[in-house]
Amino acid sequence: MYRILISLFLVLGISQAVIGQSDDSKKKKSKGKKTITADPDAKLQTPQDVAFDEKSGLFYISSPGNNGVIKRGRRGGAVFAVKGLNHPRGVMIESGILYVADSNAVKGFNLKTEEKVFEQTVEGATALRSISSDGTDIFVSDKEANTVFKINIKKKDVSVLTKDVIAPAGLLYNKKLKEVLILSSQESGGGIYSCSLKDNTVELALSIPEYPYLEDITFNGSMSYYLTAWGADKKENVIIKVTDSLKREPRIIQSTADGPCGLKYIKRTNELAIANAYGDNLNIIKLGY
């Protein structure tokens, strides 16, 4: 009987030690987790563009209605990544920096610290819009000034890439062809233009007369471009798919009344993230293969 009692106490002591260790490990794990507390003021107001951080899985959406850039996960939890901007439109992520086209300047913020690490005023700009990069230079459009500017990231030299595209809106750097695709957003004569980085030659690559007000463009990395566009009356809004050769007719994959502006292709989930200006929301579309 004495031996049984000793064995029972030993078993209880071991089990309590194991439970204590598991509780301690849970506490350590919970301490290591990073949680984002939602900010009730971080609501999208006329969002213009969206960027996606592959490492964190967070979306960064420009929100000019409250002068900031809002970051959020797939299921919400929105907070301000940047506050106190003038009128943020285009956003992109390059080498751990969030770049924002903000009125007449381009500003960059470290994704981890959210500190401003880059700022360059663009002389002659009034309403900088879309933004793209080849890793060395930043390309940014100004629809009002009919100009696409180029900014060297290291030297901060500002120059004009082209003035040969009327009402330039969305931009996309084409790594394969070393050119910048420029969307011309106008009632007639608009379309997709290509601008060579070798000699700045501009050519009309594809006309899209049915939906002349082209907003933004993204690439899925293999065969297709996706565009946001508005009809002539600006009431019918669509998401358009175009082959990478820019030869075939565009195909509408979705119609909407939410006012789609900036969009970004997400490779790991084969989805499109779209900032909707009228709907004040971020829409995510699952694409087929």
pLDDT tens digits, residue range 150-198?
A: 999 999 999 999 999 999 999 999 999 999 999 999 988 789 999 999 9
Sheet containing strand 260-266, edge to edge, reads 260-266, 271-276, 281-286
**Residue 199, pLDDT above cutoff 60:** yes
What pLDDT does 196 receive? 97
Q: Which of 189, 191, 152, 153 is closest to 169 using CA atoms?
A: 191
Highest mean pLDDT among 121-130, 204-213, 240-249: 121-130
Angle at 133 between CA 137 and CA 123, to 5 degrees: 55
Q: How far apart are CA 91 and CA 225, in angstroms?
A: 18
What pLDDT does 171 receive? 98
Per-residue tokens: 160: 């004009």
In three-state secondary structure terms, 6 is helix
**Residue 26, pLDDT above cutoff 60:** no
What pLDDT does 6 receive? 36
**Residue 7, pLDDT above cutoff 50:** no
What pLDDT does 255 receive? 93
92-143 pLDDT, tens per residue?
999 999 999 999 999 999 999 999 999 999 999 999 999 999 999 999 999 9
Per-residue tokens: 120: 């360059």
In three-state secondary structure terms, 12 is helix
Q: What superfamily would CATH give domain 36-286?
A: TolB, C-terminal domain (2.120.10.30)
64-67 long-range contacts (CB < 8 A, ≥24 apart) are 64/88, 64/89, 65/280, 66/41
**Residue 52, pLDDT above cutoff 50:** yes
Q: What is the mean pLDDT of residues 279-285?
A: 95
Percent of the chain with pLDDT over 70: 87
**Residue 13, pLDDT above cutoff 70:** no
C-alpha gyration radius of the chain: 24
**Residue 21, pLDDT above cutoff 60:** no
What pLDDT does 38 receive? 87
226-238 pLDDT, tens per residue?
999 988 776 789 9
**Residue 49, pLDDT above cutoff 90:** yes
Asked whether the beta carbons of 52 and 286 are under 8 A apart, the reply is no
pLDDT band at 257 (very low <50, low <70, confident <90, very high): confident
Angle at 196 between CA 210 and CA 189, to 5 degrees: 20
What pLDDT does 36 receive? 64
| Strand-pair category, 260-266 with 271-276 | antiparallel
